[in-house]
């Protein structure tokens, strides 16, 4: 009799179910019906020429030296675009030397780039830093770069 009572009461007191058992009954609603649509391909506006996308962002060769100390260090140019300045840090006869110097500047967290130019019929490779939107920042970078690399950088107007 005690055995029969143990068989009835023991399962009520203790849960003998597997603790690692996974409930496989899904209570998620069925997936909604989705209609596929076609999207029209983007078209180039008629006012934009196809070759505009291949043009460089700016032409560094049109930049001129910024020598006027009276000019505002920031503001808009006559085209309504922000004024900008670029530092010409150095010029090399060999592309490898220009690339090495550019990489040294980049390691110092300067946004440096190189440009091939013709000077008196010879190819030269110039190293630039910038552009900067504030002339004071360009001047501060010039001071730091001149001191660190023993150069004499030139501040140029950025011409878009």
**pLDDT, position 49:** 67
**pLDDT, position 160:** 63
Q: Which two tokens stand for residue 9?
A: 């009461």
**pLDDT, position 104:** 92
Q: Which two tokens stand for residue 119?
A: 């000077």
Find tokens 């501040």 and name the residue.
155
C-alpha closest to that of 77 among 88, 93, 66: 66
Helix/strand/coil (H/E/C) assignment for every residue in 82-127: ECCEEEEEEEECCHHHHHHHHHHHHHCCCCEEEEEEEECCEEEEEE
Higher-pLDDT residue of 80 and 152 is 152
Task: Supply the pTM of this predicted model.
Answer: 0.58
Query: 83-160, which class in CATH?
Result: alpha beta
Q: pLDDT for 48-93, tens place per residue? A: 666 655 555 555 665 666 655 556 667 777 777 777 888 999 999 9
Q: pLDDT for 3-51, tens place per residue? A: 888 888 877 777 666 667 777 777 888 889 999 999 888 887 777 666 6
**pLDDT, position 129:** 92
Q: pLDDT for 93-136, tens place per residue? A: 999 999 999 999 999 999 999 988 888 889 999 999 988 888 88
**pLDDT, position 107:** 93
């Amino acid at each position: 009799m005690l055995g029969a009572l143990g068989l009835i009461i023991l399962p009520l007191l203790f849960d003998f179910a597997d603790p690692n058992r996974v409930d496989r009954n899904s209570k998620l609603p069925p997936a909604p019906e989705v209609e596929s649509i076609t999207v029209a391909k983007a078209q180039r506006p008629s006012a934009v020429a196809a070759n505009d996308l291949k043009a460089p962002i700016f032409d560094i060769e049109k930049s001129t030296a910024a020598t006027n100390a009276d000019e505002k260090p920031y503001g808009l140019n006559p085209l309504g675009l922000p004024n900008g300045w670029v530092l010409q840090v150095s010029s090399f006869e060999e592309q490898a030397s220009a690339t090495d110097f550019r990489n040294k500047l980049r390691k110092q967290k300067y946004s440096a780039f190189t440009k091939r130019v013709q000077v008196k019929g010879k190819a030269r490779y110039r190293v630039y830093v910038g552009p900067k939107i504030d002339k004071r920042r360009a001047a501060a970078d010039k001071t730091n770069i001149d001191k660190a690399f023993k150069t004499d950088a030139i501040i140029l107007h950025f011409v878009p």
